[in-house]
Amino acid sequence: MQKTVGIIMNGVTGRMGTNQHLERSIIAIRNQGGVKLSNGDTIMPDPILVGRNEEKLAALSRRYDVERYTTSLEEALADPRNEIYFDAQVTTRRVAAVKQAIAAGKAIYCEKPTAETTAEALELYHLAKKAGVRHGVVQDKLWLPGLRKLKYLVDTGFFGRIVNVRMEFGYWVFDGFHQTAQRPSWNYRKEDGGGIFVDMFPHWRYVVDNLFGPIKGISAVGAITVPRRVDEDGREYKSTAEDTACATFELESGVFVHFNTSWQIRLRRDEIMGLQVDGTEGSAWVGLRDVFLQSEGATPKPVWNPDVPNPVDFYQGWTRMPDRDPYENAFKIQWELFLKYHAGEGEFRWDLLEAAKGVQLAELGLESWKKRAWMDVPELR
């Protein structure tokens, strides 16, 4: 039996909403014939596009053969066919809309960060819990091929005892004066919800928690390295949100995790993301897709001597981890899991409480930067 589930998709006219959530997730699921449940039934998504720009909505509707769209969120929430509310708006508009959807009894699935403050994010969790609606947050990076391979290595004990984790993430975002920027201008305006802490630290929270364990404390600093930029309409504006952040997370296990995140770094590494994990028995360099391994037995023994050419090629001794499983789009995988959960099959532990933890880490990172101090990371409930 096939069941059609209406999904309110609010804010999918943006780049991420269109590409990852609409095209590569919901439309891809529709085109494959829906999501199969263990009892043989099928869940078929029926999206309704919601936004403020009717012209953009109409264009998306034609492009992806989506029959329904509206500029009225109230109209979409009032329709009993629509069982799930999805939010990919700018962060500043998310809390009010999610509250409306909870009040309307809709299941909630939304992008991160779910709010600008921890208090607001926790409020959404408690409201959803009290209303008895199913809820979840996008935590896509857990399903990237590279991080899935890393999870396998952690679970199978490849590293022995992990002693160090460090990551470089980001790329050069042009300021718009001579080359068009690759990211929207609101990302660099604090008053519009921009900033690399609120953008990326919710990601780092779930990545660290799920791969290495709970975070106990954080020390962080940030910077606005490019003070002026040009927006999508060719207008110059002042950057008020940080584009660079460096942080150290202390885990409950005693391991320190170092994250450097910047939109103003020219890459000289294999991928946009490079995560290295070192353990007593082996190490791994992890990209978005590829993972390279070096065991304890293959580890060279360098000696510091700046007076002679280095005799060691440090790229040797690393082995590429093979692709042993098919890897689908990370956003699509989590959408399928949420649709199954909505249908009563399986659990979905990436809920609005997990979302609040991400907001908390961003907020504490900003506070650490402001106070120039270590910040404890208390448990949220």
Which CATH number does the domain housing residue 291 bear? 3.30.360.10
In a domain, 104, yes or no: yes
Residues 6+ apart with CB under 8 A from 312: 300, 302
pTM: 0.94
Partners of 228 in the β-ladder = 238
pLDDT at 371: 98
In a domain, 223, yes or no: yes
Q: Are residues 24 and 121 in the same domain?
A: yes
What span, in angstroms and rounded, lies between the C-alpha atoms of 162 and 113? 29
Written as one letter, the residue type at 370 is K
Q: What is the β-pairing status of strands 282-286 and 273-279?
A: antiparallel
Specify whether the CB–CB gap between 329 and 20 falls below 8 A. yes
Domain around 108: 2-141+330-351
Quote the number of domains for the chain. 2
In a domain, 306, yes or no: yes
Q: Are residues 159 and 82 in the same domain?
A: no
What span, in angstroms and rounded, lies between the C-alpha atoms of 360 and 362? 5
In a domain, 26, yes or no: yes
Q: Are residues 371 and 345 in the same domain?
A: no
Specify whether the CB–CB gap between 73 and 99 falls below 8 A. no
User: Coil, helix or strand for 164?
Assistant: strand
Q: Are residues 135 and 180 in the same domain?
A: no
pLDDT at 203: 96
Angle at CA 109, nearest 5°, toward 30 and 114? 140
Q: Are residues 305 and 346 in the same domain?
A: no
Q: Are residues 30 and 112 in the same domain?
A: yes
What span, in angstroms and rounded, lies between the C-alpha atoms of 37 and 220? 44
Which CATH number does the domain housing residue 50 bear? 3.40.50.720
In a domain, 115, yes or no: yes
Helix (H) or strand (E) holding 201, with range, is helix 196-211
Q: Which pLDDT tens digits describe the chain residue by residue (381 residues)?
A: 899 999 999 999 988 899 999 999 999 999 999 999 999 999 999 999 999 999 999 999 999 999 999 999 999 999 999 999 999 998 889 999 999 999 999 999 999 999 999 999 999 999 999 999 999 999 999 999 999 999 999 999 999 999 999 999 999 999 999 999 999 999 999 999 899 999 999 999 999 999 999 999 999 999 999 999 999 999 999 999 999 999 999 999 999 999 999 999 999 998 999 999 999 999 999 999 999 999 999 999 999 999 999 899 999 999 999 998 899 999 999 999 999 999 999 999 999 999 999 999 999 999 999 999 999 999 999
In a domain, 380, yes or no: no
Angle at CA 115, nearest 5°, toward 113 and 121? 105
Q: Are residues 278 and 176 in the same domain?
A: yes
